[in-house]
A and B are shown apart, each in its own frame.
Chain A
Amino acid sequence: EAQVTQNPRYLITVTGKKLTVTCSQNMNHEYMSWYRQDPGLGLRQIYYSMNVEVTDKGDVPEGYKVSRKEKRNFPLILESPSPNQTSLYFCASHSMGQNTEAFFGQGTRLTVV
């Protein structure tokens, strides 16, 4: 089954404690991205990757890092989380092309206290 898998689904952490949210896709997609969703703001792109070892900033990259060492994996790293990073996070992937549907992970609800 084609899917994007994120882990964990829920996470409560403390300010400053480094964390990683994993994302893996099994569709051999070149393009992967991370979004955060906040009430009233829709989904905003954090980082994206167009292929292995190729990553770039999206609209709201501050406080986040990513890596793309393998095509299937695209982890999101918060080196020093802060309360304003409390949000719902989505990983998405799609093949290159304008009309290709993006597949989303189940979402990770992160709370930073």
Chain B
Amino acid sequence: GEDVEQSLFLSVREGDSSVINCTYTDSSSTYLYWYKQEPGAGLQLLTYIFSNMDMKQDQRLTVLLNKKDKHLSLRIADTQTGDSAIYFCAESFLQGGKLIFGQGTELSVKP
């Protein structure tokens, strides 16, 4: 079945790197996504990776995908207080339409 798991909380100091992890069970996913949710708001797509890729870098964001272990991570370099939010990983499938989301990781950045 489809299941996506994330740890619920992560706390880092401003300027440090943050690494948010995600594991998933269904290896037939085609794309994996990272969405950001600020308090009381909707979700905003941060980045995504095609399931055939191992890594994608976009400015301060680095996505690593280990397909063998079904593990996805998001690294945020030089984390700022504005990065404090809930981060969701999600996967999509060839038939489209459906995103399976993890529970979200609440990132707290302390000055």
**Does chain A bind chain B?**
no
Q: Which residues of B contact A (CB under 8 A)?
A: none
Q: Which residues of A contact B (CB under 8 A)?
A: none
